[in-house]
Amino acid sequence: MGIPGPMQLLLILAIVIVIFGAKRLKNLGSDLGGAVKGFKSAVKDEAEDGAAQLEDAKDTAEEAVTSAKDETKV
């Protein structure tokens, strides 16, 4: 029992089209595409936010180190 061949896939596709209809499959495809696009956008936004937070934390840490060095000199 391996991967179905091209003829079996065509038969499965034909059965799915008969059961659901071409218009409904088109709507499902466009909805799925929109969902994937939204997911990619959210992942990209989250990565950018993470990078910004990392830079903020780095700046805060550098300020703390500078402040600590200044306090030890006094």
- The confidence score (pLDDT) of residue 59 equals 83
Any residues with CB less than 8 A from the CB of 16 and at least 6 apart, and which? Answer: 25
Q: Helices marked H in 1-74 — which ranges?
A: 6-20, 22-73
How far is the C-alpha of 1 from the C-alpha of 46, rounded, in Å?
41
By CB atoms closer than 10 A (0-12, 13-18, 19+), residue 10 is exposed
What are the domain boundaries of the chain? 10-73
23-73 pLDDT, tens per residue?
888 888 889 999 999 999 998 888 888 888 888 888 888 888 888 777 776
How far is the C-alpha of 34 from the C-alpha of 48, rounded, in Å?
21
pTM higher than 0.75 = no
